[in-house]
Amino acid sequence: MKKVDSHTHSEYSADGSVKISDMVSKAIEGGGKYLCITDHLDLDALQEYNNAPTGWTQLDLPAYERDLFSEKDKLDEFYLGFGIEAGYDENTSMEYKKIIDSKPFDAVINSVHFVEGYDVYFPDFFSGRHKNDAYRAYLKKVQKSLDVPYHYDIVGHIGYCVRNACYEDKIMHYEEFEDLLEPILKKIIELGKTLEVNTHHALCPNEEILKKYYAFGGRKISFGSDAHRGDVYKDFDKTVEMLKAIGFSGFTYFKRHKECFEKFD
Ligand SMILES: [Zn+2]
Ligand SMILES: [Zn+2]
């Protein structure tokens, strides 16, 4: 099989640093056939009640689009995708709809980063909170995010809050959060969306959750390295082995929101 990666960040993301052209070179060297850049479009971070990280800047969408399409023009077989990672917030739907409907995106990832005013990537969110309460608040927001009125293809990194959580056992165990995870997974299937398998830090969602998704009938999964430093296709081969053992047969990826499928060997 050829490698596909549906979640990566270039220098146009506030926390990215690598040029699109360099990411493409790495992807081609790494045996890939598809790479979607999904720079952060964080309307959530613009909300006053959300504490955006210091120095956080918004995506320059026209510059990003120009650069991406000029790189795409140089390519032949390799598919360079134009995407965004849309940070969910209750009050940003109409603005996202306008942007998403007006641009020729290949893929839109719907991700939750902010919960109760904090980006749950940072440990501040967890101080003085029990794991159960913190993870539940995150999952409730994920549940709400599935119903947005704008188009999205992929549900991003379920379990994102575990990355820097400060608990002795920070794993999001399925049984502990079954009352929220079960309806979330079933809703993703019902809506026909694709569940992302994100390998950036700890695997998100974890293996227990992926097994349940499969057991409920979920078959659409996308691969996302969430590369911010050019590390596209991170842990690709070992992730494929794990997914095959669960029963999955390939990755779904998107060209102009149309589903494509790359079958596992
Ligand atoms: Zn994200
Ligand atoms: Zn990301």
pLDDT of residue 19: 98
Calculate ∠ Cα 250-23-254, nearest 5°: 35
Tens of pLDDT, residue by residue over 111-159, are 999 999 999 999 999 999 999 999 999 999 999 999 999 999 999 999 9
Q: Which of 96, 92, 94 is nearest to 141 (CA)?
A: 92
The single residue listed with the structure tokens 């991170």 is 234
Tens of pLDDT, residue by residue over 10-38, are 999 999 999 999 999 999 999 999 999 99
Q: 6: CA distance to ligand 1 center in Å?
A: 12
Domain edges within the chain: 3-263
User: What does pLDDT average to over the chain?
Assistant: 96
Q: 113: CA distance to ligand 2 center in Å?
A: 10
Between the alpha carbon of residue 172 and those of residues 136, 160, 203, 226, the distances in Å are 10, 10, 11, 20
Region of 212 (left: φ > 0; alpha: ψ -120 to 50; beta: rest) is alpha
Question: Top-level CATH class of 3-263?
Answer: alpha beta
Say yes or no to pLDDT of 180 above 90: yes
Q: 5: CA distance to ligand 2 center in Å?
A: 12
pLDDT of residue 52: 87
Pairing mode, strands 221-224 and 32-41 = unpaired
Q: Give the global pTM.
A: 0.97
Between the alpha carbon of residue 112 and those of residues 7, 88, 90, 157, 183, the distances in Å are 14, 5, 11, 8, 17
Q: 28: CA distance to ligand 2 center in Å?
A: 21
End-to-end alpha-carbon separation of the chain, Å?
A: 6
d(CA 121, CA 123): 7
Tens of pLDDT, residue by residue over 207-244, are 999 999 999 999 999 999 999 999 999 999 999 999 99
The single residue listed with the structure tokens 């990566």 is 8
Split at pLDDT 50, 70, 90, the class of 56 is confident
pLDDT of residue 238: 97
Is the distance from CB of 233 to CB of 32 less than 8 angstroms? yes
Q: 85: CA distance to ligand 1 center in Å?
A: 7
- Please give the helix or strand (H or E) that residue 139 lies within, else none: helix 131-145
